[in-house]
């Protein structure tokens, strides 16, 4: 056996993506370069690591076992690199955070200055729906999760960051003939929902149930951006977090429909497992948030607080 660290890293990325093309993109390599490294790595084993059926790449059971070993080796190499940097007086390590899809408009502002001050930190930020975020937290795969609805079946600690306001929004052609609408407006519009597992959808459904509001026509889309574009195109209206609509409202592509009892107000919380043993990086980030979160809100989210 004479495989290199680079071959291990390439093979691991191929197993994670199940695609030479995607692996090449994530590693910033060409597809031929990835194929050559994979071929050279395979030549050191008598048992196939991968197989191609049709045009799809599959990882064999043996390949999956080798990938697990490769992951441990790569993690140990990263740990050596982090320890080397720490002896030079730098805060180093990996910070792993998962955020719900709308949280991508929030979390970067709470990370930017912290990462600039600590260039030795490697960030892994995953953006997905609420169900996947909670699963990653439950499996202890991440340090923190950003959610607007706290999980009911898990023991977590929470750091409130800022308010999350959800309004009923329509496109620029919606005729606002009333200053304030009653709940009956929901019976007259096509309502666009996020997919099941989304925190935004759960919040909207709770509001509709609480107020006994029937929905006559609805669409379902699988991302916040898709919902936004559908509303702009005039396919319907939706209850959406204001945090992701700043430019569209400013440019006049979207407008808020004033409705009694709206906005729905929740709170963005950074959560972590109770009794979680933090790395020095995660501990430092917690301390940074406690010291700086109010300044961050004032600097970047004043516009948000002023919308009614």
| Same-domain check for residues 41 and 71 | yes
Long-range contacts of 150-157 (CB under 8 A, 24+ apart): 150/269, 150/271, 151/271, 154/273, 155/273, 155/274, 156/271, 156/272, 156/273, 156/274, 157/271, 157/272, 157/273, 157/274, 157/276
Contact 292, 106 (CB under 8 A): no
* Cα(141)–Cα(96) distance, integer angstroms: 8
| Same-domain check for residues 235 and 97 | no
Q: What tokens appear for 7 in the block?
A: 């071959």
* Cα(100)–Cα(147) distance, integer angstroms: 6
| Same-domain check for residues 157 and 172 | no
3-state SS track over 54-100:
CCEEEECHHHHHHHHHHHHHHHHHHHHHHHHHHHCCCCCEEEEEEEE
Tell me how crowded residue 112 is: count the other CB atoms within 10 A of its CB. 12
* Cα(178)–Cα(258) distance, integer angstroms: 8
Q: Tell me which of 87, 107, 125 is where a domain ends.
A: 87
| Same-domain check for residues 136 and 218 | no
Q: Tell me which of 49, 72, 87 is where a domain ends.
A: 87
Work out the angle between the directed axes of helices 20-27 and 31-42 (0-180°, nearest 10).
110
CA distances 90 to 85, 99, 121, Å, are 6, 27, 9
Q: What tokens appear for 164 in the block?
A: 């999350």
| Same-domain check for residues 158 and 274 | yes
Secondary structure of the chain: what % helix, strand, coil (to 5)? 45, 25, 30
| Same-domain check for residues 131 and 250 | no
| Same-domain check for residues 109 and 25 | no
Taking only Cα atoms into account, the Rg of the chain, rounded to an integer number of angstroms, comes to 23
Q: Tell me which of 87, 117, 146 is where a domain ends.
A: 87
Q: Report the number of distinct structural domains present in the chain.
A: 3
| Same-domain check for residues 191 and 252 | yes
At 13, which CATH number? Answer: 1.10.10.10
* Cα(9)–Cα(67) distance, integer angstroms: 10
| Same-domain check for residues 202 and 64 | no
| Same-domain check for residues 107 and 190 | no
Q: What are phi and psi of 144, to 5 degrees?
A: -140, 155
At 196, which CATH number? Answer: 3.40.190.10
* Cα(262)–Cα(168) distance, integer angstroms: 8
| Same-domain check for residues 254 and 273 | no
Q: What is the pTM of this model?
A: 0.67
| Same-domain check for residues 168 and 301 | no
Q: Which domain holds residue 273?
A: 93-162+267-305
Per-residue pLDDT of the chain (308 residues; tens, 9 = 90+): 688 989 999 999 999 899 999 899 888 889 999 999 999 999 999 999 999 888 889 999 999 999 999 988 888 887 676 566 555 556 788 899 999 988 999 999 999 999 998 888 999 999 988 889 999 999 899 999 999 888 888 899 999 999 999 999 999 999 888 889 998 898 888 999 988 878 888 888 888 889 888 877 788 888 888 999 999 999 999 999 998 898 899 899 999 999 988 999 999 999 999 988 888 899 889 989 988 999 999 898 887 665 65
Q: Name beta bridge partners: 51.
A: 58
């Amino acid at each position: 056996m004479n495989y290199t660290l680079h071959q291990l890293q390439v093979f691991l990325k191929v197993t994670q993506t199940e695609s030479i093309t995607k692996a090449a993109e994530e590693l910033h390599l060409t597809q031929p370069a990835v194929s050559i490294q994979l071929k050279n790595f395979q030549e050191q084993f008598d048992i196939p690591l991968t197989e191609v059926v049709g045009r799809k790449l599959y990882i064999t059971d043996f390949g999956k076992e080798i990938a697990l070993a490769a992951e441990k080796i790569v993690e140990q190499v990263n740990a050596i690199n982090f320890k080397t940097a720490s002896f030079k007086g730098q805060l180093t390590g990996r910070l792993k955070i998962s955020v719900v899809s709308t949280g991508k408009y929030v979390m970067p502002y709470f990370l930017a200055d912290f990462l600039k001050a600590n260039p030795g930190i490697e960030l892994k930020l995953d953006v997905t729906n609420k169900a996947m975020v909670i699963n990653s937290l439950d499996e202890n795969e991440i340090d923190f999760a950003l959610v607007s609805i706290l999980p009911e079946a898990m023991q977590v600690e929470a750091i409130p960051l800022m308010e999350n306001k959800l309004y009923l929004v329509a496109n620029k052609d919606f005729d606002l003939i009333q200053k304030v609408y009653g709940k009956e407006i929901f019976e007259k519009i096509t309502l666009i929902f996020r997919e099941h597992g989304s925190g935004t959808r759960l919040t909207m459904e709770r509001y509709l149930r609480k107020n006994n509001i029937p929905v006559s026509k609805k669409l379902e889309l699988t991302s916040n951006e898709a919902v936004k574009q559908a509303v702009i195109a005039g396919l319907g209206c939706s209850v959406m977090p204001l945090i992701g609509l700043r430019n569209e409202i400013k440019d006049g592509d979207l407008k808020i429909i004033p409705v009694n009892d709206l906005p729905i107000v929740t709170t963005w919380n950074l959560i972590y497992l109770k009794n979680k043993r933090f790395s020095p990086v995660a501990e430092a980030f917690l301390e940074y948030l406690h010291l700086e979160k109010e300044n961050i809100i004032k600097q970047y989210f004043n516009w948000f607080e002023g919308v009614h």
